[in-house]
Amino acid sequence: MKTVSLDGAVVPFAEGQTVMECALAANISIPHLCFLPGFLPHGSCRLCTVKIDGRLASACTQPAMAGQHVEIDTEELRQVRLSLLRMLFVEGNHYCPACEKSGSCRLQKAAYDEGMLDLHYRPWYPKRKMDASHPDVLIDRDRCIFCELCVKASRDVDGKNIFGISGRGIDTHLVVNSKSGLLADTDISAQDRAVEVCPVGAILVKGRGFEIPIGKRLYD
Ligand code: SF4
């Protein structure tokens, strides 16, 4: 059987598996945000950056190959992840205590896991339009980290193709595929996979804020 070395552990892999998939199968943790099993990976958040034979690469898109030497938990890579997380935080408005997703947010968890204690960079304070037009679902665009999971879930699982990402750099934002551009004019439902899959508090079900007490939330 073909194997790779993950931080010195010799791990077998099946043909077609990525470095991330073979690490997950071996219970070896590689931090990630935009990757979710079952969805096509595209390596946009770069949080799963590892070093493969001396070269930086995103583990979720890199195919596992026999004899690869993969470094995951090194000081250099911890600093890379910390920088990426800080940039994600300053690009949006992530005030955890005021966010309904606090305690169940994958961005917040990743920041805790990497020991992030400050923003380091100057915050952008973006002011992207909120969409509260739908009776059951709300979008807070300033919390979006552009992982595209809602885009894939809406298109490939819900069969509705409601979401997309538009713009570049500071103008990047989540768009809604309806004539008015508003969620009210789509057939989204609070039960859609696209709503459930959002790793942060950017897509929320209305009327459920702070429902789970502190201590019982997903990552408490
Ligand atoms: S709204 Fe949520 S799921 Fe969609 S791209 Fe933004 S962070 Fe990802």
60 lines ligand 1 (CB under 6 A): no
pLDDT at 1 over 90: no
pLDDT tens-digit readout, 63-79: 999 999 999 999 999 99
pLDDT tens-digit readout, 78-119: 999 999 999 999 999 999 999 999 999 999 999 999 999 999
Which pLDDT score is estimated for 169?
A: 84
Residues facing residue 71 across a β-bridge: 51
Q: Please give the number of the atom of ligand 1 that sits closest to the Cα of 146.
A: 5
Q: Please give the number of the atom of ligand 1 that sits closest to the Cα of 145.
A: 7
Give the percent of the chain with pLDDT over 90: 95
Distance 117 CA to ligand 1 centre (A): 24
Which pLDDT score is estimated for 53?
A: 97
pLDDT tens-digit readout, 189-208: 999 999 999 999 999 999 98
Q: CATH 3.30.70.20 residue ranges in the chain?
A: 96-205
Rounded CA gap, 73 and 122, in Å? 27
Distance 22 CA to ligand 1 centre (A): 26
Three-state DSSP at 167 gives coil
Q: Which fold has domain 3-73?
A: Ubiquitin-like (UB roll) (3.10.20)
Which pLDDT score is estimated for 170?
A: 82
Mean pLDDT of 184-188: 98
Beta-sheet strand order (sheet of 69-71): 9-12, 3-6, 69-71, 49-52, 55-58
Q: CATH 3.10.20.740 residue ranges in the chain?
A: 3-73
Q: Which two tokens stand for residue 93?
A: 């408005």
Which pLDDT score is estimated for 142?
A: 96
pLDDT tens-digit readout, 168-178: 888 899 999 99
149 lines ligand 1 (CB under 6 A): yes
Distance 92 CA to ligand 1 centre (A): 12
Which pLDDT score is estimated for 88?
A: 96
Q: Sign of the C-alpha dihedral, residues 132, 169, 94, 29?
A: positive
202 lines ligand 1 (CB under 6 A): yes
pLDDT at 165 over 90: yes
* Cβ 153 vs Cβ 198: under 8 Å: no
Mean pLDDT of 157-161: 98
Whether pTM exceeds 0.75: yes
142 lines ligand 1 (CB under 6 A): no
Distance 158 CA to ligand 1 centre (A): 15
Q: Which fold has domain 96-205?
A: Alpha-Beta Plaits (3.30.70)
Q: Please give the number of the atom of ligand 1 that sits closest to the Cα of 194.
A: 3
What residue type is assigned to position 159 of the chain? G
Residue 148's contacts (CB-CB under 8 Å, 6 or more residues apart) are 34, 42, 44, 165
